[in-house]
Amino acid sequence: MTISSPDTSQTKKSLLAAVASYLTPRGFVMLLFGFSAGLPFYLIFQTLSIWLREEGVSRGEIGLFAWVGFAFTIKWLWAPVLDRVPIPFLENRIGRRRAWMAVAQIGVATMLLAMSAANPGDNLFYVAIIAIGIAFSSATQDIAIDAWRIEAAAAEEQGMMAAMYQYGYRIGLLIAGTAPLIIADNVNWAFAYQFMAALMMVGFLTALFAPKIEAGLYIPPKRLPPLQALRESTIGPFADFLKRYGTAALVILLFIAVYRIPDFVMGFMTGPLYVDLGYDKTQIAFIRGGAGMIATMFGVFLGGILLLRLNFMAALLIGVIGQSVTNLLYSWLAMMPADNLYLATAVIIDNIAYGYAGTVLIAYMSSLTNTAFTATQYALFSSFYALPGKFVGGFSGFIVEAVGYPWFFAYTAMIGIPAALLVLVLKRSEKDLRHETPQTEPI
C-alpha cells in the first residue's frame, strides 16, 4: 500500500509572506473565477429550497432536489472533453481553459433566465429540469476553473489559490443566498433569478478579458485516433492515479468521499428550517449573508494560513471535527424560538468551520493531481467528495419528517466519525505508505 505525501513538498512560509501571497494578480483573477463558480450553487439548493417551501412544496420533495447535484458528482465523465476538445475562435485568444469557462458561464446564465419563468407550485417537473441544466453548466464551469487553478500557479501557491477560490466562491454563495431573497421579498422570484443571470457576466468577462497571468501555457494532448483518444482520456488519468498511489488510492478516495458528508446532508434542510421556524427572507438574507459571509471568509483565510503552517493530515482532522461539531448547533437552533441572535450564533460558528474545511480539502485534492491529467483527475476527486453527500441528502427531507429537525442535525454530526478515523489511518500510516514516484513537471 503506497501513498505520496503532499506535505513533504510544501514550503513553510512566514505569516507575513503567507498573507502577501494573497495580494497578487493571479490571486485576484482566481477570486473572480471562484465568484462565478459559487454563484449558481445556492440557486439550485438552499435559495431554491426556500422558494419551494414558500410555494407549499413538501420537505420530502425539496430533499429530492439534492439529487440535482449528481451533475457535480459525475462530471468526470465529460471532464476529458475539456482536456481534449478545443473551442473554436475563443481558444486561440484566451486559451482552452478560459474558453470552456466562457461557454459554461453562458449556459448557466441561460438556464437561470429559464428558471425565472418557473412556477414551482404548478409545475415542479419544469423546475427540476431547469435545475439539472443549471447544475450541468455549473459543473462544466467547475471543471475548467479547477484545471486552470491547478495549472496557473506553482505548487507552493496552491494553498493561496485554493483560499482565493474559496473567497470568491463564498462571495458568490453570499450573493446567491441574500440578493434573491431580498429581491423576492420586494419584487418577485422571477426578477431575482434574472438578476442572478446578469451577475454571471462577471465570470464571463473575466474569462475573456482578464490579463493572462498563468504560470505556463496549457499544452493540449496530441491528436490521436478516436478510440485511442477515448481510452487515454478516460482510462489513462485513473490508471495514472492508481499507479502513483497504489492500493492507497482506494483509501484516499474513500476519505475524500466521506469528508464533507455532514455538511452536504444537513445543508439541504437549513432553508426549510428557517422558513418553518418563522424567519422571513430578509432576516435570512442579512444574517446568513452578512454575519455568515464574514465568518466564512475568516474560515477560508484560516484554512489557507494553517495549510502553510501545518501538514495536511492535521489540517484535515481539524476540518472533520469542526464541521461535525458545528452541525449540533442546528439541533439547538431547531429547539429555540425564532430570534436573530440564535440564528446568527449558529450561522457564524458553522460557516467558520465550513469555510475552513472546504479550503483544506481543495488544497489536498489539488496536491494529488498529475498535471498531465489535471481536469479529469481533479474532477474525479471532486466527484467522490460530493457523491455520498448528494445521495444521502436526497432523503434528508423524509428523515426530517420522520424524526424532526433536532435529531436530524444530530445524526448529520455523527456521520463525520468515519472521516475522522480515516484521517488517523492515513496519518499513522504515512511513512509506510509514502511513494516517491515522480509526477509530470508542472507547466
Categorize the per-residue pLDDT at 347 as very low, low, confident or very high, splitting at 50, 70 and 90: very high
| Calpha distance 311→12 (Å, rounded) | 10
Assess if residue 439 is contained within a domain: no
Assess if residue 116 is contained within a domain: yes
Cβ(254)–Cβ(379) under 8 Å?
Answer: no
| Calpha distance 62→56 (Å, rounded) | 10
Q: How many domains does the chain contain in total?
A: 1
Residue 25 pLDDT greater than 50, yes or no? yes
Average pLDDT (354-362) is 87
Residue 331 pLDDT greater than 90, yes or no? yes
Residue 118 pLDDT greater than 60, yes or no? yes
Query: Residue 15 is placed in which grid cell?
Result: 505569516
> By three-state DSSP, how is residue 154 classified?
coil
Average pLDDT, the chain: 82
Residue 440 pLDDT greater than 50, yes or no? no
Residue 9 pLDDT greater than 50, yes or no? no
Assess if residue 379 is contained within a domain: yes
From the list 199, 379, 350, the residue with the least C-alpha distance to 270 is: 350
Assess if residue 318 is contained within a domain: yes
Average pLDDT (187-206) is 95
Assess if residue 288 is contained within a domain: yes
Cβ(41)–Cβ(138) under 8 Å?
Answer: yes
Assess if residue 350 is contained within a domain: yes
Assess if residue 21 is contained within a domain: yes
Least confident span in 43-57, 98-112, 308-322, 428-442: 428-442
Q: What is the pLDDT of residue 165?
A: 87
From the list 144, 156, 143, the residue with the least C-alpha distance to 24 is: 156
Residues spanned by the domain of 16: 6-433
| Calpha distance 194→187 (Å, rounded) | 12
Assess if residue 442 is contained within a domain: no
Q: How many angstroms from the chain centroid is the CA of residue 269?
A: 18
CATH number of the domain enclosing 379: 1.20.1250.20
Amino acid at 160: M
Least confident span in 197-206, 311-320, 376-385: 376-385
